[in-house]
Chains A and B, each alone.
Chain A
Amino acid sequence: MISTKDELISHIDSIYRSALYLAKNPEDAEDLVQETFIKAFKFLDNNKKIEYEKAWLFKILMNTFINQYRKSKSNPPLVDFDTVESYHASVEEEALNGPVMENKEKFDDLLDSEVKGALEALPDDFRIAILLSIVEGFTYNEISEILGIPIGTVMSRIYRGKKILKEELRSYAKGLGYERRQE
């Protein structure tokens, strides 16, 4: 199947959502989305074929983000959180270093605060895997392709990420009458 530009554009909300979580402020997110589509359109203009356009677009988004990240030395390096221990350490460190988000108010408006807080509690690398899984509905295989990491790493990030989310949103579940017994 050959994708058209319109088909690519139909994924703009999804791309924007993820860009917002990657860039952490609306302005940079918009730039990231623009870059992504510029590259995608260029590819289409050269009559190249795309297999599964949504995953493909996300892969361009991730590559663009990582390249920009590497270019701008002002930003902290991308940290690979692979242990829960380092997760706790990083949360503390983040608290010490103050909020990472610019334009925080604008960002706050976009999401209900409880879910937002829960997502913020996740390390960056976990968060993007979780969003691709829960929100965008990609399979573990596709996520592994998009992020360029082994499927085992995807599984462990999603497993641990979802556990953290559940801890963060436990009170919400309780409020709905679940969790009568707690061990």
Chain B
Amino acid sequence: MNCNSVRKYFYAFIDNELDVERNIEILAHLDMCYECSTKIEIERVIQNRVKESVLSISAPDSLKRSIAVMANPRPSFFSSLKEKLFANGVLKPVGAFVSLLLIITVFIVILSYNMQNEAFHIAESEYHHMLMNDMETDIRSKNKNAIKGYILDNVGLDVDLPDFRGNTKLIGASLSTINDKSVPLVYYMIGNVPAALYIGRDFDLNLSKAKRELINDMVIYKTDGDCGDCKIISWQGDDNQYIMISKINSNRMIGVLTSI
């Protein structure tokens, strides 16, 4: 083999892609040809540098955490809600003794916060603010797990986010303050109407004037916002309380929340 034909095989040689015979031919040539062995050394040095440089990139910790969360999902509050509401694809009628027990428990827990509905007011004014400002999100993503990771990193809350049907899109999230606590706000577009979802632990909600809808064993509270246009729904998840605000009517909100 002459130098030119040897050099044609340089990359395949470095990459171990040659058959045994050709490999031996190349090795033999490199042994006696100073020029070729220098050239192949250069190729190796350059490739190693590219390799080392690219290998120094690693995935961000927040991404690693959210992938780890995805690998071992807890049963989601929303998926169980969906199952309860939509057995056989039809909204099941209210009833059952279990439901009654649950509503009593939830009610006692929530009524013990017998205070002003500051959270609703703040949530609504934040929603208006958001409409005015064209939604200033801290993170923009349509990916549920990216948003979950962001909330876990910044507020330390491990939250369930609902699945929505086709015409509802996740947009992003930001942080807000309600009752001196940092509260994550998740933004959606329901059709072309924005909606905001507030998630937290200790909203001081007084729900005595809110309408209660008992859909199987889930209690969903419905109320009007101060502006009259905004509708608010609220419910208690496994760990967190949820407040959702939008200008679409509350039954439609409940609808998109639970149907897929």
Contact = CB atoms under 8 A, between A and B. Distances in A.
Interface stretch (A34-42, A47-55, A78-86): A34-42
What bracket does the count of chain A residues touching chain B fall in?
Answer: 35 or more
Contacts, number: 117
Contact of A165 (B50, B59, B66, B70): B50
Interface string B8-44: 0001100111000000000000000001001001110
A169 B53 CA distance: 13
Contact of A31 (B43, B56, B146): B146
A166 B46 contact: yes
A26 B38 CA distance: 38
A139 B143 contact: no
Interface in B37-73: 38, 41-43, 45-47, 49-51, 53-60, 63-64, 66-68, 70-72
B46 A158 contact: no
29 contacts: A6-B71, A9-B64, A9-B67, A9-B71, A13-B57, A17-B55, A20-B57, A30-B60, A30-B146, A31-B142, A31-B146, A34-B145, A37-B67, A110-B57, A111-B53, A115-B53, A116-B53, A131-B54, A133-B15, A135-B51, A135-B55, A139-B17, A140-B17, A158-B11, A159-B11, A166-B46, A169-B50, A172-B46, A181-B35
List of 5 A-B pairs having minimum Cβ-Cβ separation, nearest first: A16-B59, A115-B53, A5-B71, A13-B58, A135-B54
Interface of A: 5-6, 9, 12-13, 15-17, 20, 26-27, 30-31, 33-35, 37-38, 41, 110-112, 115-116, 118-119, 130-131, 133-135, 139-140, 155, 158-159, 162, 165-166, 169, 172-173, 176, 178-179, 181
